[in-house]
Amino acid sequence: MGSKLKGQIDPDSPSYVQDPYSRYSHPPVLEPSLAGAVLFLLVTVIVNIKLILDTRRAADEDPPAQEYEDVIPNMETPRRPASGRKVLDMEVYSSRSKVYVAVDGTTVLEDDMQEQGRGIHVIVLNQATGHVMAKRIFDTYSPHEDEAMILFLNMVTRGRILIFTIKDEGTFHLKDAAKNLLKSFGSQASLNLSWRDMWTLVVKKGGPVCGEKHSKSPALSTWGDPVLLKTEVQLTAAEEAECHWADTELNRRRKLFCSKVEGYGSICSCKDPAPIEFNPDPLPNNNVFNVPVAVIAGNRPNYLYRMLRSLLSAHGVNPQMITVFIDGYYEEPMDVVELFGLKGVQHTPISIKNARVSQHYKASLTATFNLHPDAGFAIVLEEDLDISVDFFSFLSQTIHLLDQDDSLYCISAWNDQGYEHTAEDPGLLYRVESMPGLGWVLKKNIYKDELEPKWPTPEKLWDWDMWMRMPEQRRSRECIIPDVSRSYHFGIIGLNMNGYFHEVYFKKHKFNTIPNVQLRNVDSLRKDSYEAEVQKLLTEAELLDHSKNPCEDSFVPDTEGKTYVMFIKMESELDTSTWTELAKCLHVWDLDVRGYHRGLWRLFRKRNHVLVVAVPISPYS
């Protein structure tokens, strides 16, 4: 797309930053253009191949070990000795269409793809080893990216080597705060950086500038000449690069982590590091203590970090049962897993895009039940979820239903329609015909006897969750969900995709923060009891005034704690237009029809319970 002049509208769909993992459980509404998709596939494939080649590849089938009978001399080659070199040679290149960074002849960054990688590339190196600890791109052509860059740079530990280089355009929305920060690092050019300038900088944070080059753009319509910075960086002794934490098992993990990666806030603070062990309260009668937890992850280590922190802080968590399944041989997610002392499993990527996610899901679920042959259930989580403090308590109170009621498909922590203004009661549960995912419990029998044998094969480019929702799989079974969700889908925040989409559909989702919520009448969620429950509700419900516009605030009276009923037209399953209209003005999920039970939606308006009945398809009409 290239950079554009002021006032022009950027088509804001950089499909290339979309990770397949950001797309779980959304309908395909924001499908990028076909060309974008093809490019995306291509990039995905290339990136995958590259990652497979150059990151930790677990030795596959044949271990280089011998039977103990064969006595052979020690043949293992020693690890590369710490070289005596104390200086790193650097080359940093900045231009309109290409950036690269080479450290001691090794290319650690190379980006010459068209229509991607615009902005300021930042690389953090360990000042003692020269290892790459973080790589980021801040598209400071676009608004607010400079704020993200400031946050990131402030988190980087003092003494680290920072490398900056601009591709295409990186100054349009680079505000003074960011320029001043760069100046405080020692940059001479930062205050003068402007439209389509090329720029490179190598600096030790809190230390000397090792080199800087800047070339001004001569005119609005042209770019500055490419710059190539060649410089040397003095390495420091290992001890100087480390903090002196007390020598404990936890700190050993912390030390290892902090020597490898940057950008995780105060985890690596020398003086007051953030905890990596949380010791949340146990649950008195925990029925899910021995249920395995599968965390499905891609390559979004910062997300995974946030997710695992909330998971390990939830009451009743059993870290022994957690396995993180990483789709690909990525280092950094594995580092995060090891930081928390958890078990991580890496999966060779199969297929592409949604099918890749789907295959990863299958492999992870199969492995989960393999690792825990005694388990009757598995809890399935994704790397972009916050977990409520009473998540396990919620499951512990409901999991028996899956065993006792064959008409159930899953228990999910997520209410598709549970927004700040439509969810109210943390003790209330529903039955719904859709399968929400986003933190859910799967029964082993359902997986082993039904889903696993016919799981979509890689060449079918299907979403696993869409597939699970198909009638052939769901077979009219329902899921139990809470009114107030026990998970929060933060997955889209920070991703450079449609901010409006997240704002509208996810950000305002209600998330329970109250511990130890006692769920009410759990057994009334069984098939027959629930029908009686719904009938009772309908009997006591007051009919809303249908002559009023349901989009008007006055449609629901200003009462509290009452139950109301309204009727909408729905001639068939496919006749969704009335519901969609209503959902739009209620500001709930309207991209497809979700969260209903036999043509009935239940939600809250102004602290009143509102029943929406579809006429005539609902048996309640």
Partner 1 sequence: QTGLHLLNPAGHVTSSQVQWQTLKKFLALAQHFRLAVFLADTTVLTLLSQDALRQRDRMTREPHCSFLCTGRPITSFALQANQWKLNPGFLLAAEQKGFELLEVRGHDPRLASLDTLSGEEIPLHFLFRLHGYIIHVVLLYERSGNYLWHGVLRLKANMDRSFAPFKLLDYGRHAGAYDRPELMLTVIDSLDIRVPRNISQFLMQQQRAQYLECRYHDARSFLQLYPDDSSTAAVEFRRKAKALLNLAARTLGELDIPFWISSGTCLGWFRQCSIISYSQDVDIGIFITDFRPDIAEAFRDAGLSLKHKFGKVEDSLELSFLGEDIKLDIFFFYKDGDIMWNGGTQAKSGRKFKYIFPSFSLCWAELLEVKVRVPCETLDYVMANYGATWSIPVRSWDWKSSPSNVMENGVWPMAEWAGLIQVY
The sign of the CA dihedral 413, 300, 4, 172 is positive
Which range in 136-144, 341-349, 559-567, 569-577 contacts partner 1 by CB under 8 A? 341-349
Q: Which C-beta is closer to partner 1: that of 21 or that of 329?
A: 329
Q: What torsion do the CA atoms of 354, 359, 363, 364 make, to the nearest 10 degrees?
A: 10
Amino acid type, 44: T
111 within 8 A of 100, measured Cβ to Cβ: yes
539-598 binders of partner 1 (CB under 8 A): none
Among 7, 208, 453, 561, binds partner 1 (CB under 8 A): 453
Among 355, 351, 499, which Cα is nearest to 30's? 499
Minimum Å gap between C-beta 464 and partner 1 is 14
DSSP single-letter state for residue 544: P
Question: 218-277: which residues touch partner 1 (CB under 8 A)?
Answer: 249
Q: Which of residues 62-101 bind partner 1 (CB under 8 A)?
A: 62-69, 71-72, 74-76
Q: Give the tokens for residue 390.
A: 């009473």
What is the contact mask toward partner 1 in residues 319 to 338, using x (rule: CB under 8 A)? -x--x-x-------------
Separation between Cα atoms, residue 473 and residue 371, nearest integer Å: 25
Residue 369 lies near partner 1 (rule: CB under 8 A): yes
Q: Considering the rule CB under 8 A, would residue 500 count as an interface residue with partner 1?
A: no
**Min CB(411)–partner 1 separation in Å:** 23
Q: Rule CB under 8 A: say whether 442 interacts with partner 1.
A: no
Q: Classify each residue of 100-119 as buried b or exposed e, where b means 16 or more C-beta atoms within 10 Å of its C-beta.
A: bbbbeeeebbebeeeebbbb
Q: Identify whether the C-beta of residue 572 lies closer than 8 Å to the C-beta of residue 560.
A: no
Q: How far is the CB of 560 from partner 1 (least distance, A)?
A: 50
Query: In the bound complex, what is the minimum distance in angstroms from residue 372's beta carbon to partner 1?
Result: 8
Shortest distance (Å) from residue 270 CB to partner 1: 25
Residue closer to partner 1 by CB (options 105, 373) is 373
520-549 positions binding partner 1, by CB under 8 A? none
Whichever of 117 and 292 has its CB closer to partner 1, that residue is 292
* Euclidean distance between CA atoms 379 and 323, whole angstroms: 10
Tell me how long the chain is: 621
Q: Which residues lie below 8 Å from residue 257, measured CB to CB, with a gap of 6+?
A: 264, 267, 268, 335, 336, 338, 339
Sign of the four-CA dihedral 503, 506, 510, 514: negative
d(CA 443, CA 515): 26
Given the rule CB under 8 A, which of 85-93, 210-218, 365-373, 380-388 is the region that contacts partner 1? Answer: 365-373
Judged by beta carbon, residue 22 or residue 348, the one nearer partner 1 is 348
SS (H, E, C) 222-240: CCCCCEEEEEEEECCCHHH
Pair 261, 301: CB distance under 8 Å: yes
Q: In the set 117, 298, 333, 344, which binds partner 1 (CB under 8 A)?
A: 344
CB of 470 to partner 1, least distance (A): 14
Tokens of residue 489, six digits: 């889908």
544 vs 565: CA distance, rounded Å:
6
Q: Using alpha carbons, select from 445, 381, 447 the residue that is nearest to residue 414.
A: 381
Q: Rounded to whole angstroms, how far apart are CA atoms 183 and 180?
A: 5
Shortest Å, Cβ 334 to partner 1: 9
Distance CA 563, CA 528 (A): 21
Among 61, 239, 552, 553, binds partner 1 (CB under 8 A): 61
**Could you tell me the two tokens for 228?**
């190539």
- Site size for partner 1 (CB under 8 A): 44
**Residue 354 near partner 1 by CB under 8 A:** no
Please check whether residue 235 is in contact with residue 102, taking contact to mean a CB–CB distance below 8 angstroms.
no
The one among 239, 247, 272, 374 contacting partner 1 by CB under 8 A: 374
Binding partner 1 (rule: CB under 8 A), the pick from 98, 136, 216, 343 is 343
Which of 55, 287, 302, 348: binder of partner 1 (CB under 8 A)? 348
For the window 457-476, what string marks contact with partner 1 as x by the rule CB under 8 A?
x-------------------
372 is an interface residue for partner 1 by CB under 8 A:
yes
Beta 293-297 vs 377-382: how paired, if at all?
parallel
Q: Which is nearer to partner 1, 294 or 435 (CB)?
A: 294
User: How far is Cα 54 from Cα 156, in angstroms, rounded to an integer?
Assistant: 24
- Binding segment for partner 1 (CB under 8 A), chosen from 30-38, 54-62, 275-283, 419-427, is 54-62
For residues 61 and 553, which CB has a smaller minimum distance to partner 1 in the complex?
Answer: 61
**Which stretch, 53-61, 500-508, 536-544, 607-615, contacts partner 1 (CB under 8 A)?**
53-61
Give the interface with partner 1 as residue ranges (CB under 8 A).
58, 60-69, 71-72, 74-76, 249, 320, 323, 325, 341, 343-348, 350, 359, 362-363, 366-367, 369-374, 448-449, 453-454, 457
